[in-house]
Amino acid sequence: MKKKTTLLGLFCAVVLSAFAAQEIYVSPTGSDENTGTSGSPYATLAKAVSMVSEDGAVIYVASGTYVFGSTAIIKPYNQTIVGDDAATTIFDGNNAVALIDGQTEMQGSQKTLTLQKVAFKNAKMDVTAETGGSAVRMGAKTLFPII
């Protein structure tokens, strides 16, 4: 009976891990050469969103001010970006770039990008695009809740 219990427990652990959502971590002390885990976070949101590969992915962003050198292009997956606190997790475009672009990849995908506990500042308006968008630009049929 003990072998059956052990095998059942092992089977359950494997099955549950297969359904776990992808988790990616970002920190001001991270590096885009890291693996994106909690112990080895990325430095930029652009790198983190480029690594999303499945629906349900969650990107955890530690407190800090993230000055964007390039726009973060959102891939067509249901995903959530969660900051530590909106007062301390700040996405700054440095008056040079838009912050998040979901229009390119997510247009018409019916996928959802959810943002929680992040603040935006100094994003640059794209005056050449018909839809503009300085902080977040999403497609016309993209779901975009901000919590």
**What's the mean pLDDT in 45-71?**
97
Rounded Cα distance, 4 and 13, in Å: 14
Q: In whole angstroms, how large is the CA radius of gyration of the chain?
A: 18
Give the residue, 116 or 133, on which the prediction is more confident: 116
**What's the mean pLDDT in 63-89?**
96
Give the sign of the dihedral formed by CA 41, CA 44, CA 50, CA 56.
Answer: positive
DSSP 8-21: HHHHHHHHHHHTSP
Q: Average pLDDT over the chain, rounded to whole?
A: 84
8 Å CB contact between 102 and 138: yes
- What is the DSSP-derived secondary structure letter of residue 6? H
DSSP 81-126: EEES-TTTEEEE-TTTS-SEE-HHHHTTS--BEEEES-EEESPPP-
pLDDT in tens, 3-35: 555 555 545 444 444 567 999 999 999 999 999
8 Å CB contact between 68 and 92: yes
Instruction: Kindly report the pTM of this predicted structure.
Output: 0.79
